[in-house]
Amino acid sequence: MKKFLIVLAAAVVLMTGCAKKDAKASGTLVVWSFTDELKTMIDKYYTPSHPDVTVEYSLTPTDQFPNKLDPVLASGQGAPDVFALEAAFVRKYIESGLLLDITDIANDVKSKQLAYPIEVGTFNGKVYGLSWQGTPGAMFYRRSLAKKYLGSDDPAEVQKYFTDLNKFLETAALLKDKSTGKCVVVSATGDLLMPFKGARKAPWVVDGKLNIDPAMVTYMDMCKTLKDKGYEGRQGQWSEGWFAGMKGALKDENGKDVEVFSYFLPTWGLHYVLKTNAPDTAGDWAMCPGPAGYSWGGTWVAAYKGTKNAVAAKDFIKYVTSDDTFLEAWAKDTGDYVSNNTVVAKIKDSYAEPFLGGQNHYAAFATMAASVNGKLIQGTDQAIEGLFNEAVTAYMNGEKDKNQAVEDFKSQVNAQLGL
Amino acid sequence: MKQKTIGNETRVNRWGYFFVLPFVLAFVLFNLYPTIYTFVIAFTDLKGLRNTFTFVGLKNFAKLVSDKYFWGAVENTFVMWGWNFIPQLGIALLLSIWLSDIRLKLKCKGFFRAVIYMPNLLTAASVAMLFRSLFAYPIGPVNQFLQSLDIYAEVERNGTMIREAFQFFRSVPASRGIVAFIQWWMWYGNTVIMLMAGITSISASLYESAVVDGANSRQTTWHITLPMLRPMMLYILVTSMIGGMQMLEVPFLLTDMRGAPDFKIRTTNVYLYNMAFQGVNDYAYAAAISIGVFIITIVLALFIFFFLQDRSELKKKRVGVTK
């Protein structure tokens, strides 16, 4: 036992000694996250390959995460070294000036990484956050319904019915007609927000002023049309009925069956929303790009600028967001769409997702990821969209006319965000 | 010998400070300091992810006074509090009079009191979520119940009238009504307990002499119980108003956390939360809102005391002094 201890001590001394020579990552890293994905990455991959670094991990639910992070970042007391940031609030921190500049590691890996996650992590020419994933979105539809009403369940054929927004409306009408009112194209109008956001030319805030992109006005009109004509299922996103639609078990208030043709979901939506909530309809799904390319969600990793262990923090971020070996293993484990193009190119042709009836989702996402514009995401998006959502709902339900709804929206944004 | 005892006494007295120390520390740290800090930052430009600020004078208050959404939130708060308070006091009065009436000889009084108080033990957040799913659209328990009675909402869609489920949370009166109902349901038990305490403290001899004089139940209630309960009702009114001004969880969680429909259930505290913890984190303005609410509450509380206080006693005393 004593001998063993001496050997161990010697080994530790040796290893730490070596580590210092190579400026290798060592010491302790405090990591905060709202997603347990990071925990798996640390336990299964990072710690085994980086035995010198002790990671102290803590998990906080997404909705409380910013409230926990804000005070410690502002004061610098008890701040974590590295933390995960969700798409909804990542820009708030990227724009805050409180994050560690990681432009050097971003430049190292830029050539092999997907472009848009780096764009999201960039502010004033400097990179503050990187992501291990790309989250392009697709239109997931039920094969059986496509066959019944559109004559084919082949993704290329179905896509022809949804090439643009006009075609989308035409097909919505067609689905309703052919099914005698049973089949709705989406269960919730909110499903279309993300594709429409992806279709914008400019973000919400341009030169410190609120900018309502024409795509957002089109979205309001689209919601109204879908609702008025009964082309949608009148559910709220993430509601019980919304999930019931995935299972093919949605009924309206009169007990009549409602068939939901499609859901607009991104990469994670396939694995964590569709697969987990609709096991009964496995194999009856397929995906196509739909009327507009978009991205939804995603997790970025960033470090606090006052971290005492910048070397390890940078190394950690570089490893989890770009390391070839790790991301390949991660993609194979989870099916996650990774941000490393080298890995994507290597593995994309090896997939056949049984849930999608054998379709290769990875290759499909790879084509969709390239068209995403990372410059549309801003820190104030979540707050603005919360207020916009109220305007859309009021217009859609006929409580306000369009002008009134838009004016009220502008005035609320001005009062709450000063834009 | 005498001297020593006094010395002992002072030494023992000193222990009192040690006993209150934990409270004083906790109060200063978690109550006094945050309150002072709130007052301070209301005069600054503290915003977003910073902890440095500069003083900007009364700028935030100037904005507050002209902010129509703040006054809208004040109105929402008062409307919902009023809809909850009037039935609350009325029903609580009735129940407390029944429960404490000696002549009625109600059985299981303790049981009723416990049942009435029960909703108050639930967390406001979980009650809000419960009602959110009860009144869900298009399928929810309340809608299903109404449909079983053949009650539907008539909606115009694409030129034709359609019968469909009620969208409760898109109707301003319904949403406000639900908030007021939840507040009522959660707090009327508390009011019953307070009023019963008030009733039991009324001297029994008053009732006895009234009965001897031939008063019936209605007369004793009207001429003894209610007037004697006046100070208690005043207390309930003021505390309920203070509580009502701080209404947050229920309207916050019931709809979209921003006071939908049309921001008409956005109370001052929901507005404050939206300002401070969502969007651009305008802590300074949020602090100004909380001070605005504080001032409104104080003014109203003083107003209530001034006008509703029973001044007949005061007058009597004054007469006595001059004599």
Q: What is the pLDDT of residues A272-309, one digit of tens each?
A: 899 999 999 999 999 999 998 899 999 999 999 999 99
When pLDDT is cut at 50, 70 and 90, the band that residue B280 belongs to is confident
Residues ≥6 apart with Cβ < 8 Å to B64: B70, B285, B288, B289, B292
- Asked if B169 and B72 count as a contact pair (C-beta separation under 8 A), the reply is no
User: What's the pLDDT at B322?
Assistant: 46
* A17 has a pLDDT exceeding 50: no
pLDDT at A252: 87
Query: Which of A64, A70, A225, A253 to mutate against chain B (most B CBs within 10 Å)?
Result: A253
Q: Is the pLDDT of residue A13 over 50?
A: no
Residue B321 has pLDDT above 50, yes or no: no
Average the pLDDT over each of A70-84, B46-60, B95-109, B163-177 and give the range with the smallest value.
Answer: B95-109
Determine the distance in angstroms separating the CA of B111 from the nearest CA of chain A, rounded to an integer. 37
Mean pLDDT lowest among A156-165, B13-22, B163-172: B13-22
- Say what the pLDDT of residue B278 is: 83
State the DSSP H helix or E strand holding residue A129, giving kind and residue range, or none if neither.
strand A129-131
Q: Which residues contact A311 (CB under 8 A, 6 or more apart)?
A: A23, A24, A25
Instruction: Please name the residue of chain A whose CA is at the shortest distance from the CA of residue B142.
Output: A253
Region for residue A248 given its phi and psi (left: phi exceeds 0; alpha: psi -120 to 50; beta: otherwise):
left
Q: Place A255 in a pLDDT band, splitting at 50, 70 and 90.
A: confident
**pLDDT the model gives residue A3:** 54
Name the pLDDT band for B69 (thresholds 50, 70, 90): very high
| pLDDT tens digits along A85-120 | 999 889 999 998 899 999 999 999 999 999 999 999
A400 pLDDT above the threshold of 70: yes
Chain A residues near any Cβ of chain B (below 8 Å): 66-67, 70, 73-75, 92-93, 96-98, 227-230, 234-235, 239-241, 251-254, 380, 382-383, 386-387, 389-390, 393-394, 397-400, 408, 412, 415-418
* DSSP one-letter string for A148-214: IIIS---HHHHHGGGSSHHHHHHHHHHHHHHTTT-EEEES-GGGGHHHHHHT-SS-SEETTEE---H
Chain A contact for B49 (CB, 8 A cutoff): yes
Q: Do A412 and B263 touch (CB under 8 A)?
A: yes
Work out the minimum CA distance from B260 to partner chain A, whole angstroms.
7
Whether B184 and chain A come into contact, CB under 8 Å, resolves to no
Contact A417 B157 (CB under 8 A): no
Please provide the average confidence, as pLDDT, over all residues in chain A.
90
- The reply to whether residue A241 touches residue B138, judged by beta carbons under 8 angstroms, is yes
Q: Token pair for residue B95?
A: 């129940």
**Which of B41, B44, B49 would best serve as a mutation to test chain A binding (most A beta carbons within 10 A)?**
B49
Stretch(es) of chain A classified as CATH 3.40.190.10? 25-135+297-354, 137-295+363-417
Nearest CA in chain A to B46: A74
A16 has a pLDDT exceeding 50: no
Q: Does residue B3 register a pLDDT over 60?
A: no
Mean pLDDT to the nearest integer, A123-151: 95
> B163 falls in which pLDDT band (50, 70, 90)?
confident
pLDDT at site A164: 87
Please state the pTM of the whole predicted model: 0.87
Location of structure tokens 């094969």: A143
Say whether B157 and A230 touch across the interface (CB within 8 A). Answer: yes
pLDDT of residue A174: 95
**Nearest by CB to A416, which of B50, B257, B274?**
B274
Report d(CA B129, CA B133) in Å as an integer.
Answer: 6
Residue A4 has pLDDT above 70, yes or no: no
Residue B24 confidence (pLDDT) above 90: yes
Model pLDDT, residue B101: 80
Check if the beta carbon of residue A100 is closer than 8 Å to that of residue A330. Answer: no
Given pLDDT bands bounded at 50, 70 and 90, which one contains residue B306?
confident
Band the pLDDT of B48: cuts 50, 70, 90. confident
Q: Spell out which residues of chain A touch residue B278, defining contact as CB-CB under 8 Å.
A: 382-383, 386
pLDDT score of A6: 55
Which pLDDT score, from 0 to 100, does residue B192 have? 94
A31: phi then psi, degrees, rounded to nearest 5:
-115, 125
**Owner of token pair 């301070």:** B40
- Over range B251-258, report the average pLDDT: 93
Of the candidates B164, B167, B280, which has its C-beta nearest A380's C-beta? B280
Place of tokens 């709220």: A236
Q: With an 8 Å Cβ cutoff, are A389 and B69 in contact? A: no
Contact criterion met (CB < 8 Å) for B277 and A394: no
For β-strands A209-210 and A205-206, DSSP reports them as antiparallel
Q: Is the pLDDT score of A356 beyond 90?
A: yes
Close Cβ partners of A95 (under 8 Å, ≥ 6 residues apart): A123, A378, A379
DSSP state letters, B239-304: HHHHHHHT--HHHHHHTTSS--STTTT--HHHHHHHHHHSTT--HHHHHHHHHHHHHHHHHHHHHH
Q: What is the ipTM of this complex?
A: 0.86
The answer to whether residue B1 scores a pLDDT higher than 90 is: no
Residue B200 in contact with partner chain A when CB distance is under 8 A = no
Angstrom distance (rounded) from CA B96 to CA B109: 10
Taking the CA atoms of chain B, what radius of gyration do you get in angstroms? Answer: 26
Residue A56 token pair: 């102290």
Q: How many Cβ atoms from other residues are within 10 Å of residue A71's Cβ?
A: 13
Q: Which two tokens stand for residue B125?
A: 């957040």
Is the pLDDT assigned to residue A5 strictly greater than 60? no
Q: Does B227 touch chain A (CB under 8 A)?
A: no
Per-residue pLDDT band for A344 (boundaries 50, 70, 90) equals very high
Architecture per CATH, domain A137-295+363-417, reads as: 3-Layer(aba) Sandwich (3.40)
pLDDT at A271 over 90: no
First-to-last C-alpha distance (Å) of chain A: 68
Residues 102-121 of chain B whose Cβ lies under 8 A from any Cβ of chain A = none
pLDDT of residue A14: 47
Query: What is A25-135+297-354's CATH topology?
Result: D-Maltodextrin-Binding Protein; domain 2 (3.40.190)
Distance from CA of B74 to the nearest CA of A (A): 16
Cα angle: A248, vertex A250, A255; to 5 degrees: 130
Residue B312: predicted pLDDT: 63
- Is the pLDDT reported for residue B147 higher than 50? yes
Task: Give all domains of chain B, ordered by start, each with its CATH number.
Answer: 42-322 (1.10.3720.10)
Q: Which of A288, A294, A301, A267 is nearest to A156 (CA)?
A: A288
Which of A360, A350, A326 has the alpha carbon at shortest distance from A340? A326
